[in-house]
Amino acid sequence: MKALTGSRLADGEAVFLSDGGWVDRFARAQLFADDDAALAAEAHAKTQITVVVDPYLIDVIEVEGGWAPLSYRERVRAMGPTNKLDHGKQAEGGEEFEVLSHAHGAARSKGRVELIKRK
């Protein structure tokens, strides 16, 4: 299962594709079971240069209470810095952050690895 993420151009906030728009909460991200649909969404996102920067696909896994990014790095992006819990998305509180913080481990998302290689 995958989701599509990127950085919002205007302010650099981590955003996630959600039914044609971009949201700043992972909990509302659109999940792609179909790789073709995911790749098509990624290709389209790359044309939205005034909206989002460097979109890439991330792997997501099912965890207790919902879904979470597989990679630790993506969970930090989805939550906020761990040294200041009153900064970042997590500061607004909510069940979704409980869910995210239950996920563990795992390697970098393939989508991120490919992005780095491309650069």
Partner 1 sequence: MYRYDAIDKEILADRVAEFREQCQRRLAGELTEDQFKRLRLMNGLYLQLHAYMLRIAIPYGGLTSGQLRRLAHIARTYDRGYGHFTTRTNLQLHWIKLKDAPDILAELAEVGMHAIQTSGNDIRNITADPLAGINADEADDPRVWVEVLRQWSTFHPEFSFLPRKFKIAVTASPADRAATKIYDIGLRLHRNAAGELGFEMLVGGGLGRTPYLGPTIRQHLPVRHLLSYMQAILRVYNRHGRRDNIWKARIKVLVASLGAEAFAREVEAEWESTDKAAIDLPDTELARIRSAFIAPAFEKLPATSATFDAAKADPAFARFARHNVRPHKVPGYAIVDVSLKKPGETPGDCSSDQMDLIADVAERWSLDEIRVAYEQNLILPHVKLDDVPAVWKALDGAELATPNIGLVSDIIACPGLDYCSLANARAIPIAQAIATRFADPVLAEKVGKLDIKISGCINACGHHHVGAIGILGVDKKGEEFYQVSLGGSGEADASLGQILGPALPAGKVAEAVDQLVDVYLRERQDGERFLDTFRRTGMTPFKEAVYADAH
CB of 10 to partner 1, least distance (A): 5
CB of 104 to partner 1, least distance (A): 8
If phi > 0 it is left, if psi is from -120 to 50 it is alpha, else beta; for residue 66 that is left
Is residue 13 part of the contact set for partner 1 (CB under 8 A)? yes
Task: Write out the binding residues for partner 1, residues 35-74 only, by CB under 8 A.
Answer: 49-50, 53-54, 70-73
Name, in order, each residue with C-beta under 8 angstroms of 64's C-beta and a sequence gap of 6 or more: 99, 102
Name, in order, each residue with C-beta under 8 angstroms of 23's C-beta and a sequence gap of 6 or more: 15, 16, 29
Cβ closest to partner 1, residue 65 vs residue 81: 81
Is residue 29 part of the contact set for partner 1 (CB under 8 A)? no
